[in-house]
Structure 1
Amino acid sequence: MKKYILRPITFIALIVCLLSSSFKSDQRKPAFGFTLDNIEGKKVSLSDFKGKVVYIDFWATWCKPCLMEIPHSKTLKQKYADNDSIVFMYISIDQPDNIDGWKAVVEKKGMTGVQLISREGLEEKIIQRYGVQYIPHFVLIDKNGNIADAKAPAPSEPKTEQAINKLLLE
């Protein structure tokens, strides 16, 4: 008789353990640290912005969809102009021999925010670490330096503001 009672209890306990471990996988993971050059040639690290929400835009000057997002990104950034708790970071994956072209596009398009360039183009380690398979690609980092959304919505999507606002309230 004990066998018949013990088996269902063991089975239920096993299910509960499996479910609880799957919920743990939903927890945020630390963002991968990196240091890249900004438009002035100075080193900038992701860790410089700990305590702030960071919206990262991986892009390139040769990427038409990336260029189409720039006006939306400028509008989105303007909505948070008075909020020091968010940083808009743009990481160009242009090849190192196109730094002048990158700077020209940033200036011509009036892009502001943290402008960074990969010195290794598509071979940059952060491209792989953040799972960037296509561009434009967006990532949201929470105030604790964790990846909140590895495939964040684009600036042109209405749900982007909701995602940012949610992180700002945490």
Structure 2
Amino acid sequence: MFTSLLVACSSEKQESSTPKAESATLQNDSTDTAKKSTAEAQAVEQATFTDLEGNAVDIAEFEGKVVLIDFWETWCKPCLASFPTMQQLMDDYPEQFVVLAVTPGFLNTKEDASEFSGENDYDFVYLFDENKLHQKLNVQGIPFKVFVDAEGNFIEMSMGSRGPEGDYKHAKEIIEKHS
């Protein structure tokens, strides 16, 4: 199953035949969604992680590149299946794109991520989510991808995969539009 959330999502404009009470509820839901989206965007744009050596890494350090915050863990087969595609994008857009492979700590530890990074030849920036961005974004499952533009602005977040070709095409469009 694939779910996608976009910043500033809201209910569609209702027909004028909608009863006033229902319309007010829809408008309040839309406002709540916009507030939630704004809070999520701020959390992403101000995110700080911990690298495998214990150093703080701020999302702002990657300004100038489109950033993919890719929440993953070593046991997640769909997460691992997307890694070659994300590496290919980094190879194709070395000055425009970076992958932050962020372990939320569901079952993995920093040591698990460190072992994986040592055994695999991906150029990702491996990080641990000690500041719980995944909770602020209400991440319910992985893979969970969050895109940030080259100026540090939240673009979108989504759970799941479109498959290798779909993931490549979608990320390529974001990179070319936002770098």
TM-score, structure 2 normalization: 0.65
1:66-77 to 2 correspondence within 5 Å? 66-77=79-90
After superposition, give the CA deviation of every residue in 1:4-29 in whole Å (9 maximum; x if it has no partner).
xxxxxxx9xxxxxx9xx99xx6x984
Shift of the 96–38 alpha-carbon distance from structure 1 to 2, 3 Å rule, reads: farther
TM-score, structure 1 normalization: 0.69
SS at match of 1:150: strand
When Rg is computed on C-alpha atoms for both structures, the one with the higher figure is 1
SS at match of 1:60: coil
Deviation at 1:165, TM superposition (A): 0.9
Q: How much is the aligned-residue C-alpha RMSD, in angstroms? A: 3.0
Aligned 8 A contact 2:143 2:159 in 1:
no
SS at match of 1:68: helix
TM superposition outliers: structure 1 runs of 4+ over 6 Å? none
Gaps of 5+ in 1: 1-10, 12-17
Shift of the 66–115 alpha-carbon distance from structure 1 to 2, 3 Å rule, reads: same
| 1:139 equivalenced with 2:146 (yes/no) | yes
Aligned 8 A contact 2:74 2:108 in 1:
no
After superposition, give the CA deviation of every residue in 1:49-106 in whole Å (9 maximum; x if it has no partner).
234321111101121111111112211211112x1x3322110123587322211111
What's the counterpart of residue 93 of structure 2? 80
Query: Take 2:60 and 2:98, find their aligned partners in 1: how far apart are those partners?
Result: 12
1:1-170 to 2 correspondence within 5 Å? 29-30=41-42, 31-81=44-94, 83=95, 85-94=96-105, 98-119=109-130, 125-151=132-158, 154=161, 156=164, 157=166, 158-168=169-179
SS at match of 2:141: coil
Identity %: 28
